[in-house]
Amino acid sequence: MLLAEVESALFCVFHKLGSLKSTHRGQSGHKRTTHLPTGFFTHDLCHSYQQGPDSPESPERIDAIEDRMIAMGLSRVVTVLPSAPASMEDVLRAHDKSYVQELEQASREAQRTGEKQISEDTFINALSFEAALKSAGAAIEAVRQVCAGTIRNAFACVRPPGHHAGRNFAHGFCLINSVACAALHALDVLGLKRVAIVDFDVHRADGTEDIIKGDDRIALFSLYQETAFPFGLQPAQASNIVNAPMPEGSDGADVLKVVNDVWIPRLLMFKPDLILVSAGFDAHRDEKQALFKLTEFDYSFMTIEVMRVARAVCGGRLVSILEGGYDIRSLARSAIAHITTLTRAA
């Protein structure tokens, strides 16, 4: 069977189940059972902002996902919702003020002088700061809508990615840490008590670690290729960070073992009020940035397992935010498998 036929078959199986009922809590905490859609958030600069010369972090990533959504009919299933750029108040919960000011100033100067390299792999230009604010804003609005009970779960299809951006550093194409901004908004503004972040990008979430370490309201669960970027990091010391470094060549069975044996028991013990997913799709076997061997089906299975935990502990409240994934074809297939799974009940 051709890959497109397999993908279509998966989509049909999921959606023959219909609009399934889900039990949710609004911000008041009261449970209610209703038919709710999956929200889809993006922004205009995803299609125009350029990271740097010949960078794999390009507008084609979002174009490929959205084109495949249309081809699969998935764009008729999700609910596309607007969002605004993140406020300075939201950004400064995650990042140092001096760092944010430097980013803003560098982006403003780039209007006159052209793009500037700010780390070994990351550039900033006239659109960079605005694009990063809009990506964080989309993640935050997705959290607000899910917590309000207007949508069941959500996918923020945004760029630039964010999980390598720390309190005062940028690299790995990341400037502002969208998932950290969203987690802290949920806690400090919406009044949630505990938020879990699940990160299955093939690269270690060093920026997210830097921001949330020691904050016991947030638990980070991350698996990644131990020999991949970022290099030379020490093991995380904070008790709220659960890292699972894995060897080159790890496949779906290896990853699912970590999910089932490590993530799920710890997630159930933590009992988050919301689960955020840093959804990187660069562990795919076709990806050139690393040496894992996952397929789009593995991403679907991981999503199912995390959704089951969300239904068990927080009324299904889950927001997924795009991180890495740079082989355009495998990124599109994997993201669609993930989004399709989100649109069905776990």
**Is the domain covering 3-25+38-342 a CATH 3.20.170.30 domain?**
no
Q: Which of 157, 106, 148 is nearest to 127 (CA)?
A: 106
Q: CA-to-CA distance for 150 and 303, rounded, in angstroms?
A: 21
pLDDT (mean) for 277-284: 98
pLDDT (mean) for 194-217: 98
Distances, alpha carbon 309 to alpha carbons 71, 173, 290, in Å: 30, 31, 28
Provide the pLDDT confidence category of residue 21 given band limits of 50, 70 and 90. Answer: very low
**Could you please report the per-residue DSSP string of 201-222?**
-SS--HHHHHHHTT-TTEEEEE
How many helical (H) and strand (E) elements, i.e. helices and strands, does the chain have? Answer: 11, 12
- Judged against a pLDDT cut of 60, whether residue 223 lies above it is answered with yes
- Judged against a pLDDT cut of 90, whether residue 301 lies above it is answered with yes
Q: Which of 164, 171, 185, 203 is catalytic?
A: 164
pLDDT (mean) for 2-7: 48
Task: Classify strands 218-225 and 241-246 as parallel, antiparallel or unpaired.
Answer: parallel
pLDDT cut 90: percent of the chain above it: 86
What integer pLDDT is reported at residue 11 of this predicted model? 47
Contacts of the segment 129-133: beta carbons below 8 A, 24+ positions apart: 129/103, 129/104, 129/175, 130/45, 130/85, 131/43, 131/45, 131/46, 131/49, 131/159, 131/160, 132/103, 132/160, 132/162, 132/175, 132/176, 133/85, 133/86, 133/91, 133/176
pLDDT (mean) for 157-164: 98
- Judged against a pLDDT cut of 60, whether residue 19 lies above it is answered with no
What integer pLDDT is reported at residue 15 of this predicted model? 44
Task: Classify strands 38-41 and 241-246 as parallel, antiparallel or unpaired.
Answer: unpaired
Q: CA-to-CA distance for 130 and 177, rounded, in angstroms?
A: 13
Token pair of 87 as six digits: 């406020």
Mean model confidence pLDDT for the chain: 91
Question: What are the residue boundaries of the structural domains of the chain, listed by start?
Answer: 3-25+38-342
Q: CA-to-CA distance for 324 and 267, rounded, in angstroms?
A: 23
Provide the pLDDT confidence category of residue 52 given band limits of 50, 70 and 90. Answer: confident
Query: What distance, in Å, lies between the first and last C-alpha atoms of the chain?
Result: 26
Q: Find where tokens 């008729």 sit.
A: 76
SS3 290: coil
Reported as a single tens digit per residue, the pLDDT across 76-109 is: 999 999 999 999 999 999 999 999 999 999 999 9
Q: Find out whether the peptide bond into 160 is cis, omega within 30 degrees of 0.
A: yes
What letters, b where the CB count within 10 A reaches 16 and e where it falls short, cover 130-157? bbbbbbbbbbbbbbbbbbebebbbbbbb
What integer pLDDT is reported at residue 345 of this predicted model? 60
- Judged against a pLDDT cut of 80, whether residue 280 lies above it is answered with yes
How many C-beta atoms lie closer than 10 Å to residue 216's C-beta?
11
Reported as a single tens digit per residue, the pLDDT across 141-154 is: 999 999 999 999 99
171 is catalytic: no
